[in-house]
Amino acid sequence: MFFVFLGIYGAAQLGQFFEDIAPWPSNLVLGALAAGALLVAVTLIRNVRYPQPWVNLDTDELRAGSHRTLSLDHIDRALIPADPAVQAEVLTLRLTAKEARVEIILRDRKGPRLDELSTRVLTEALRRSSIAMPTSSHDPAGKFARYNFPGHIDLDDTLTLVAQPPAPGMPLPASW
């Protein structure tokens, strides 16, 4: 509702720029067209610059960004945000490698984002990855890895998170 009001207000404000060119109702239409064109341009630029991640299971590759692909076995870490404000609505899984990182939205306000096929493909891609909890020289066994590396999760927790994203407010794997 807020965005609808903001769009109408923005169109009216842009319509004021067209007061000298067109009379009252027409300048509002020109403002709405300008606001719509701006929204389309921003969306296209974002989608070209930051496309959705793409997995090719035949070649074991993941596209990260517009031109970068990396092997699935190069993905070595999985993170989830630990911020309580983020837990309430959007749940993002960040997969990282030395070359790139990819963020996948698992849940939004409406519920899980991935359909059944996307979940199966992502699960298979994760199984082919090298995801593990990071360790440090002071804790080589990883006994305190959850405390030393907040937000990081291991492969089993990542697979569980993708298969069944917890509802807003429920504990995340990093806090288990």
Q: How far apart are CA 78 and CA 91, in angstroms?
A: 13
Q: Residue 26 has what pLDDT?
A: 67
Its sign, for the CA torsion 112, 117, 122, 127, is positive
Q: Residue 48 has what pLDDT?
A: 72
The domain ranges of the chain are 2-49, 54-175
Q: Model-level pTM?
A: 0.69
Q: Residue 143 has what pLDDT?
A: 76
pLDDT along the chain (176 residues), means of 10: 60 62 67 75 77 82 78 88 61 84 82 86 91 84 77 89 83 63
Q: Please, what is the end-to-end C-alpha distance for the chain in angstroms?
A: 36
Q: Residue 103 has what pLDDT?
A: 84
CA dihedral 110, 64, 77, 74 (to 10 degrees): 150
Cβ proximity of 103 and 81 under 8 Å: no
Q: Residue 123 has what pLDDT?
A: 92
The Cα diameter of the chain in Å comes to 74
